[in-house]
Structure 1
Amino acid sequence: MEGAAMSGTDGTGGAAGTGGGQEPWQWDEPTWRGHVGAVRAGRPLRPARWPGGARAAVALSFDSDHETIPLRNDETHPGKLSQGEYGARAGVPRVLRLLRDRSVPATFFMPAVSALLHPDEVRAYVDGGHEVALHGWIHERNTQLTAADERELALRAADTLESLAGRRPVGIRTPSWDFSDHTLAISRELGLAYDSSLMADDEPYEILDHGEPTGMVEIPVEWIRDDAPYFTMDRFTSSRPYTPPRGVLSLWRDEFDLAVEEGGLFQLTMHPHVIGHRSRFLILRELLDHIGAHDVWYATHEELAAYVSRECPAG
């Protein structure tokens, strides 16, 4: 993830969200209902109990974007690329050591170009018992693509991760959480078990496609539980790390504490090139200390999706 996507198209060359050239206040009821109802949250998938009687589920994730964000933006100068390289060179080793020392599994969402640039990193994820999942080809913005281009890049990315990780990915997180009008159909064509890009709940839910259950699990995300909004820095824009790391620790700890109180899910999105810096990495370590004082079930996103599907059958 990183800053908000630029204005996009509907995948066919027209402006996204338009209703036949009309302004939104001119739409008739079927038009605005059609937009709202295209991809919707269905039945909740919070099980009656977590494995081993755990008080909450914890799903940690890392978006290993590395150099792909500047490349996606046609930024090819060494300075921007070095910021991404930091994630692979310094951030990932720190993260993997911490996860190993705490025996915590995680999901790494990785653009295919990032995986091709760092194939040994992909193998390190697999060897560490972690999941490798889809995160686009070059961190593209899906809402700026035609349906055909989005589909081709998704299939190419899946093939690439399969060749490097040794198994085909079963889940997706769209780059920048940019979920187009075509993303769900493409994800279903790929046979994916889950998505982790939407924000309709704190807990997992089944995705509806124009009102019809899909069997596909949504593991919802939120900008509150993402490191990038707090720590992104760009000297040419207004992006500044206004929140001190320990302020973010307080926010995330509160999110976790209420998840435990409600017996639900605590899901967290991080980036090695963001959270991997020393002052930020320390708060991740302290957060895991806090979580470790509670009876929780750590799961990859794949494990979580499989469990809630099994424990919350349809009908």
Structure 2
Amino acid sequence: MTDPEPWQWPEETWRRTVDQVRAGRTLRPATWPGGKKVAVALSFDSDHETNELRDGGRSIGRMSWGQYGTRKGIPRIKAALDKAGIKATFFVPAVTALLHPDEQRMLAAEGHEIGIHGWIHELNSVLPYEAERDLMFRSTDTLERITGVRPVGLRTPSWDFSPSTLRIERELGLLYDSSLMADDDCYELLEAGEPTGIVELPVEWIRDDAVYFNMHRFSGLRPYTAPDTVFDVFRREFDRAHEEGGLFLLTMHPHVIGYRSRIWILERLIEHIRATGDAWFATHAEVARYARDNAA
């Protein structure tokens, strides 16, 4: 017997499907620390070679592209952050951390946050609960062993959130997730309608550098947007977040933003944000804690 089509589902089925993981109460403080008007959370997904490894790929060319992220992207990003005196969050697959442990130790030692980003950048939604849980716990333990700090937040690889992901986050005792898109501002995650206490720092594809620049030589994936246009999108997203007094969260990748012709986007965006005089730059963990404890 074949499964019914979605248009044949009874109300109980589509309601249960929708209610697995939902946005709960908004967690927007009246003001941010120091009376700042807007919170700015810069994040970098250090996928490196796992972009190729995740699907069983063995392309030396694509792995070298990932290696560019650690050889050139990370140093340029770090220089931009150092110049501005701000801290950011780096979401790191465990395999990346094992390949480049000194990079993670250096970033953690300098006050940047290292967050969970899967084991080998796998797709959560194709895994059974037991496999996803094992990979997530092993990833967390690996990052803690390398950096000396146990991660408190997760960004699922490719923002791929399975029906088991939130359950596993709760078992890990995480403070926050940063994989979902139900709001611009922080919110509490609900599981089957019940509050979980986990803070969501929402992402969005339009605030992600990869969708504008990524390409795959042997597929139809060949987007390209001029850097000036990407900067304009990011700037407009920040300007409205500043106007509303909310959160501006940006996702970038060392092997994407780190090129000579693109790193200026990050540099100039930081200058633009700092020029407002009332922006609070913080790690994702800092934003999550403050939003949770000070929501209006």
- 8 Å contact kept, 1:112–1:160: yes
- Aligned twin of 1:300: 283
Match for residue 136 of structure 1?
118
Percent identity over paired residues: 61
How far 1:93 moved relative to its partner?
Answer: 0.6
Shift of 1:263: 0.5
Q: 1:75 maps to which residue?
A: 57
Are the equivalent residues in 2 in contact too, given 1:136–1:175 (CA < 8 A)?
Answer: yes
Using the alignment, how far apart are the partners of 1:64 and 1:311 within structure 2? Answer: 30
- How far apart are 1:96 and its partner, in Å? 0.7
Residue aligning to 1:159: 141
Corresponding residue number in structure 1 for 2:267: 285
Q: Distance in 2 between matches of 1:230 and 1:161?
A: 29
The structure 1 residue matched to 2:81, chosen from 61, 79, 99, is 99
User: Can you list the C-alpha shifts for 1:262-307, whole angstroms capped at 9, x where unaligned?
Assistant: 0111000000000001111011111111111011001100000110
Q: Identify the match of residue 15 of structure 2 among 10, 15, 33.
A: 33
Number of aligned positions between the proteins: 294
* 2:202 paired with 1:250: no
Q: Distance in 1 between matches of 2:32 and 2:199?
A: 17
Contact 1:100 1:128 in 2 (8 A): no
Q: CA deviation at 1:37?
A: 0.7
2:5 aligned to which of 11, 23, 28: 23
CA RMSD of aligned residues (A): 1.0
Q: Secondary structure at the match of 2:81?
A: helix
Q: How does 1:112-191 map to 2 (within 5 A)?
A: 112-191=94-173
Q: Name structure 1 gaps, 5 residues minimum.
A: 1-19
Q: Which SS does the other structure have where 1:278 is aligned?
A: coil
TM-score by length of 2: 0.98
1:261 paired residue number: 243
Q: Distance in 1 between matches of 2:59 and 2:255?
A: 17
CA deviation digits over 1:100-134, x for unaligned, max 9? 11011100000000000000000111122100010
**Which of 157, 169, 187 pairs up with 1:205?**
187
Check the 8 A contact 2:80/2:266 in 1, yes or no: no
Deviations, residues 145-188 of structure 1 (Å, cap 9, x unaligned): 11110000000000000001101100000000000000000000
**Letter of the 1:158 counterpart:** T
Over residues 201-260 of structure 1, what are the superposed CA-to-partner deviations in whole Å (9 max), with x where a residue is unaligned? 000000001000001000000000000000002111122232111100000000000001
